[in-house]
Structure 1
Amino acid sequence: MKLNVNLGEKSYEIFIERGVLRRAADLIAEVFHGKKIMIISDDRVYGYYGEVLKEQLQTKWECYEAVVPHGEASKSMAILPEIYGKLLQAKLSRSDLIVALGGGVVGDMAGFAAATYLRGIPFIQIPTSLLAQVDSSVGGKVAVDLKEGKNLVGAFYQPKLVLIDPDVLSTLPKRYINDGMGEVIKYGCIKDRGLFDILKKARSFEGLGEELTGVIARCVDIKRQIVEEDQYDTGERMLLNFGHTLGHAVEQKFAYERESHGEAVAVGMYQITKISEKKGMTEEGTAEELRKVLESYDLPISAGVKMKELKAAMMLDKKNLNDRLRIILIKKMGESFIFPTDVAFFEDDITV
């Protein structure tokens, strides 16, 4: 399947198909006409797919690699000098290319490096985690973390191409699959009751079977439409942050070492829906329906933290404008809205 993200001169194509990694060089050649490519990856992903990709690319271009340690810690300001150094050693110019081969950490960090090296060089996303395939590889948000919070230094910088190969998910540990399913479930909650029902019926990642490629494509298509309407995250694109205000606060509370991103988002989605349902803003029974689906995909619904311990991190949230939070709530499953409020929306004594 091929989708086009229509952003004028920043438009690009997304290919979603099994085995697409094996023809990456030919597809890249359609959008890139420079001389050099730097593959940025992590030590786990590169071991599986790095040399396979590099062998292809070397038939057409000079090819180099920069491999960072896996994990959220690599998505930091501290790792960037090493990446910039590798780019300089290879003498990459603004007419050359970065290829991000990896999950969300690699995609965000490599994209930020691409946006800032020489004031911007082209990059391509080849996401290898479920979370990156359905969410972070599309839309041009690139960033690194600070100790105070996630994605606090970043840019909007669109890729030239996105290649999504569901076959690479076979090498992911189960927790990484669950992590991605947190974002998949999010799309059903905010925009697509039918997608939510497919996930509810399947009850597990394995239960999706042959529907997996279609589920990935549906998530990507929802994001594509939202990004086309709101490239710079000032309106409808905020809906994609359902569960993230609380989820990011949970991640930051434990220094990104306990809950994964998808796990923290799952906690955030359930807890905020429980709160909004109690306030009469969400259809009765929605939180319980969401809880059952999250738990069927082995995702947590609680982090065991008092809300008052998370409020400082929430005030640093990028959706906090003039001390007002734009939180995302669901009216009913498949229908979401932006609700301007402040941290008083969250009662101190609630355990999340």
Structure 2
Amino acid sequence: MSDTKVIRVGDDYDVVIGRGVLSEVASRVPDGAQRVLIVHAPVMAAAAERLAEQAAVQGLEPTSVELPDAEAAKTVDVAARLWAVLAEAGFTRTDAVIALGGGATTDLGGFVAATWLRGVPVVQVPSTVLGMVDAAVGGKTGINIAEGKNLVGSFHPPAAVVCDLDLLRTLPRADLVAGLAEVVKCGFISDPQILRLAADAEAATDVDGSVLPELIARAVQVKADVVTSDLREAGLREILNYGHTFAHAVEQVSGFSWRHGDAVAVGMMYVAELARRSGLIDELLVEQHREALQLLGLPTSYAVDGDVDARWTALRAAMGRDKKTRGSTLRFVALTAVAAPTRLAGPDETLLRAAYEAVLA
């Protein structure tokens, strides 16, 4: 691929993917802004300082706030602290937010932008694979509450998304690999070429190589195509939640100690096992899931330290609060083949439990 790739999301905004493109961020703040709030993950402090300097050169007044790490940032208390900062700094509806960090940072930054004065512009600057291919693109924003992940949020498309691949050099390998679960997901639901490229695990995890940028661009293109057709998840967009029903339950029950991508990997195995038992796919496709994930070093089983039955009760209750649930009917995104997603509504409880037992370590 060329050094920089620009993917248009409908008629709304661009996703810029390249090396050294952090310098474009300040220029992507919409005209008319006088102030910009830069919220950033702890590891992005130096990059946030660079963005503040660039904003000042653009004639903007920057305010920077460091967030708690990972999912600890996505709380009502942190959002309220940022609202107070915006109020004290006199932010108006034409001012903007820049969110610099992983998926939790972009989720929170987008949510604060969506709710301040009923909506101000946000420029998303994801610094992780997960953030680049999933959280920052599509306009979903949200925070967590004790009862579940992302249950409070809004749809708020960004003014732009800038993915500087150089930022991935700060990423621990375990986090990079976890982010690839969302890439593999895009391969299974839409783009089989992703699965072929990801089969070379060494190339797929090489931050300085050419395969990882192509994987990221392909996954972003899948998401851009889907959200362009269905911004508010009225139908098609639900396919992006492949593997997420079980994954979000795992995250919640673990107190968000699981990496999101690791949970999604196990979640894809769960729904593949469920789909096989429901007669949608065969064992060969289940094994294709397992092989694709294991090659990258992603988990394909779920270890329970304690009572297996009690854990299932907790997971089942958490799945009942999934956003795709309608009434008391659980709804899953499943496959009938690679790149052929469908919905699986109201599977029998015995099948739900059997799929759980199939993914137990």
Q: How far did 1:204 drift? A: 5.8
SS at match of 2:286: helix
Is 2:3 the counterpart of 1:2? no
CA distance in 2, matches of 1:180, 1:200: 15
* 1:24 equivalenced with 2:9 (yes/no): no
Shift of 1:89: 1.7
* Counterpart among 44, 50, 57 of residue 52 in structure 1: 50
Matches within 5 A, 1:29-108: 31-46=30-45, 48-60=46-58, 61-108=60-107
Q: Deviations over 1:2-29 (max 9, x none)?
A: 121115xxx111111111112322343x
Report the equivalent of 1:314.
Answer: 319
Describe the SS at the equivalent of 1:346: helix
Report deviation, 1:82: 1.0
Q: TM-score, normalised to structure 2's length?
A: 0.91
Any gaps of 5 or more consecutive residues in structure 2? none
- The offset of 1:207, in angstroms, is 5.3
| Secondary structure of 1:347 counterpart | helix
What does residue range 1-352 of structure 1 map to in structure 2 within 5 Å? 1-7=5-11, 11-28=12-29, 31-46=30-45, 48-60=46-58, 61-202=60-201, 205-206=204-205, 209-257=209-257, 259-305=258-304, 306=308, 307-342=312-347, 344=349, 345-347=351-353, 350=357, 352=360
Q: Name the CA shift for 1:330/1:203 in 2 (closer, same or farther; >3 Å).
A: farther
Percentage identity across paired residues of the two chains: 34
3-state SS in 2 of match to 1:281: coil
Q: Which amino acid aligns with 1:162?
A: V
Rounded to whole Å, the distance in 2 between the matches of 1:180 and 1:232 is 24
Contact (CA 8 Å) 2:293, 2:299: kept in 1 or not?
Answer: yes
Verify the 8 A CA contact 1:282 1:329 in the aligned structure 2. no
Consecutive aligned runs of 4 or more in structure 1 exceeding 6 Å deviation: none
Counterpart AA for 1:215:
L
Counterpart residue identity of residue 9, structure 2:
V
Q: Aligned AA for 1:313? A: A
Aligned length: 345
CA positional deviation for 1:155: 0.4
- Provide TM-score, normalisation by structure 1: 0.93
Partner secondary structure for residue 283 of structure 2? coil
In 2, are the aligned partners of 1:203 and 1:293 still within 8 Å (CA)?
no
The answer to whether the 8 A contact 2:7-2:16 is kept is yes
Which shows bigger deviation, 67-76 or 127-136? 67-76
For 2:7, give the aligned amino acid: L
Checking the alignment, whether the CA contact within 8 Å between 1:324 and 1:340 is kept in structure 2 is yes
1:203 CA displacement: 5.3
Shift of 1:342: 4.8
